[in-house]
Structure 1
Amino acid sequence: MSALAFILLALLLVGPVPALLARAKWPLRAPRAAVVLWQAIAVAAVLSAFSAGIAIASRLFVPGPDGRPTTITGELAVLGLPLWALHVTVLALTLLVGARLIVAGIRVAVATRRRRSRHRMLVDLVSVAPSADTAPACAHSHEIRVLEANEPLAYCLPGVRSRVVVTKGTLSRLSDGELTAILSHERAHLRARHDLVLEAFTAVHAAFPRFVRSGSALYAVRLLIELLADDAALRSAGPAPLARALVTCASGRAPAGALAAGGPTTVVRVRRLAGRPNSALLAATAYLAAAAVLVLPTIAVALPWLTELRRLFGV
């Protein structure tokens, strides 16, 4: 029963729940709480998948005459070869999913940092420092780099040696207030380390098979991350300068591994600036839902199973 409950919970958290949440409109008014809810769903889905596999495979290690768990072949005669092979296969698949998750996390982290390091080196080589005459809002900022390009573009490179990169086209097209908004947006990404949240979701997305995973969750989290940075810029410059700055930089394409102010989500974000403000009630509800997603399945399903394991291994 524990294995069946874990399987059903994992299927819900991988399929219908993310699909419904990705189509919902309320996260636009509670982006921070929505990110927490997405994180809770992802963690609960992974834990449920692991728990389902381990709950099934635990039948291979029932107590022997001495009260100790038997070896993996000890239940072959009891279960029969077909059922025993099924349990061994489930155990192997569970371990494989865990290994894929670890490998995907390492690959995403290494590849992302390698790209950022290479691009940071190129930016430092070809960029110029902002001057007080051309960009007062950028002056005396050691992390800002200006590229000789006419395309309006602004993005950041997170990390230990972070950079905020703007082009000459951005400086020439944006007013001081708009430039302040766009810089506040990028600095919010760096300050809150939004890149780490995206890395975690990217690793989970890469670890699961294609017929299971969905790009809607990754897209939704990327949008929410941009909304969080927009909220920080909104407090610094106001909605009108931010909206104009986003529209100006909308067509700019940032390199892989960077977080850009523009992009395909610009229309949604600009419309949001003219809509209703963030809702504390929606945020509180989302936080409660996130806690329920993690806590309630643990109380209802995991605790009885952990009690059985404690009895089995004499812990």
Structure 2
Amino acid sequence: MSALIFGLLALLLIGPVPNALSKAEWPKRAPRAALVLWQAVAIAAVLSAFSAGLAIASRLLVLGPDGRPTTAPLDEISVLGWPLWILYVLVFALTLLVGARLIVAAVRVGFHTRRRRSHHRMVVDLLDHPMELRGRPASASLRILDTMQPVAYCLPGIRHRIVLSEGTYSALDDAEIQAVLAHERAHLRARHDLVLEAFTAVYEAFPRVVRSKTALGSVRLLIEMLADDTARRVAGTTPLARALVACAGAHTPAGAMAVGGSDTLVRIQRLGLGGNNSRVALCAYAGAATLLVVPTVAVALPWLTEISRLLRSP
């Protein structure tokens, strides 16, 4: 029964729950809390999937002739029967497969992302325009590209870069430039790239037939909203909105985090909603805590009980 409950919970947290959460409007009023809730959903989905597999695998620990738990396949088959034993083994193997895919996805995403950023960082260092532009701040990480298209993005990492173009300085005034810089620095300071990597790894670990296609897009949008909030506090709402419009059509290289993008209109509309809602945020934090605590306790208690029983057996 516990395996069935955990399995259903994992399926809900992988597909229907992310789909419903991605269509909700309230995250726009509490993006930080919504991002925490998204993280809780992802962690709870992984925990539930592993819990279902482990609950099934625990049924393989049948008692042998001496009354102690045994892992001998022939003894297990004699107690469970062939059909049930094969089913339990397949479920346990599927659990191990998901775990292996999660590890491989995390390593692959991290490796490829850092390799792309390293290559692009070398390119922008070579193409950095040396001339002094209006309002260019003294920053060792800032790079200016010699192009008239408004471009603004950052390359996260230990050796991070903020990349702007001459067109950005031509199209924006000083306040709008400050909004752009504040936006990108918010990404770098909060390491939003690591959040995206974690979600990408979880997304790739589960089979395509059950995982949600909208989760990554929703998380990216929330991260941009958080950076927008920082930029709005630094430069104001109007300069930020103008900067978003100017940079909306800019091309963003793989692995970078840009001011503009396909969701610019949604972000500009959100700026007109006013500040964030603390009550909505509190409810989201409570939901995230519940998602993390309940599955953890539900997993820990049965396993502690089973271990205690096995230790007491003669």
In 2, are the aligned partners of 1:97 and 1:208 still within 8 Å (CA)? yes
Distance 1:110 1:72 in 2: 40
Please name the residue that 1:135 is paired with: 134
The residue that corresponds to 1:288 in the other structure is 286
1:130 positional shift: 6.2
What pairs up with 1:119-134 in 2 under 5 angstroms?
A: 119-129=120-130, 131=132, 134=133
Match of 1:251?
A: 249
Aligned-partner Cα distance in 2 for 1:155–1:171: 14
CA distance change for structure 1 residues 53 and 72 in 2, over 3 Å: closer, same or farther? farther
AA paired with 1:273? L
Following the alignment from structure 2 to structure 1, what is the Cα–Cα distance between the partners of residues 154 and 67?
59
Rounded to whole Å, the distance in 1 between the matches of 2:155 and 2:256 is 5
Q: 1:234 to 1:130 in 2, by over 3 A?
A: farther
User: Helix, strand or coil: the match of 1:314?
Assistant: helix
Deviation digits for residues 155-190 of structure 1 (CA, Å, limit 9, x no counterpart): 000001000000111111010000000010000000
Question: Percent identical across equivalent pairs?
Answer: 60
Asked whether 1:24 is paired with 2:21, we answer no
Residue equivalent to 2:218: 220
Question: Corresponding residue for 1:265?
Answer: 263
Structure 1 CA distance for aligned equivalents of residues 122 and 270 of structure 2: 36
- Could you tell me how far 1:312 is from its partner in structure 2? 5.1
Q: Deviations over 1:250-308 (max 9, x none)?
A: 00121000001000110000011111320111111110110011112333x32442134
* Distance in 2 separating the partners of 1:115 and 1:88: 40
Gap change, CA 1:32 and 1:49, over 3 Å in 2 = same
Q: Distance in 1 between matches of 2:194 and 2:49?
A: 23
| 3-state SS of 2:63 partner | coil
- The alpha-carbon deviation at position 309 of structure 1 amounts to 3.2
- In the alignment, is residue 177 of structure 1 matched against residue 175 of structure 2? yes
After superposition, where does 1:67-78 map in structure 2 within 5 Å? 67-73=67-73, 74-78=75-79
String of CA shifts for 1:7-26, please: whole Å, max 9, x gaps: 12112211221111100000
Match of 1:211 in 2: 209
CA distance in 2, matches of 1:184, 1:130: 22
What does residue 302 of structure 2 align with? 305
Q: Quickly say closer, same or farther: Cα 1:126–1:67, change in 2 above 3 A.
A: farther
Q: Distance in 1 between matches of 2:134 and 2:62?
A: 71
**Partners in 2 of 1:102 and 1:206 — Cα distance?**
10
Q: CA deviation at 1:66?
A: 4.0
Q: Distance in 1 between matches of 2:82 and 2:50?
A: 24
CA distance in 2, matches of 1:39, 1:202: 12
Quickly say closer, same or farther: Cα 1:314–1:10, change in 2 above 3 A: same
TM-score by length of 2: 0.96
Q: Could you tell me which residue of structure 2 aligns to residue 118 of structure 1? A: 119
Q: Is the 8 A contact 1:62 1:312 kept in 2?
A: no
> Partners in 1 of 2:89 and 2:274 — Cα distance?
54
CA distance in 1, matches of 2:310, 2:163: 56
1:295/1:263 CA distance change after superposition, 3 Å: same
Once the 2 structures are TM-superposed, how far is the Cα of residue 86 of structure 1 from its aligned partner? Answer: 1.0
| Structure 1 runs of 4+ with >4 Å offset | none
Paired letter, 1:118: H
Distance in 1, matches of 2:49 and 2:27, equals 26
CA contact (8 A) 2:150 2:171 kept: yes
| Structure 1 range deviating more: 187-196 or 53-62 | 53-62
Report the alpha carbon displacement of residue 145 of structure 1 after superposing the two structures with TM.
0.1
**Equivalent-residue separation in structure 1 for 2:154 and 2:310 (angstroms):** 51
Per-residue deviation, 1:67? 4.7
Q: CA deviation at 1:63?
A: 3.3
**Inter-CA distance 20–72: structure 2 relative to 1 (3 Å threshold):** farther
CA apart distance, 1:65: 4.1
* Partner SS, residue 60 of structure 1: coil
- Per the alignment, residue 14 of structure 2 pairs with 14
RMSD across aligned positions (CA) = 1.4
Aligned residues: 311
SS at match of 2:40: helix
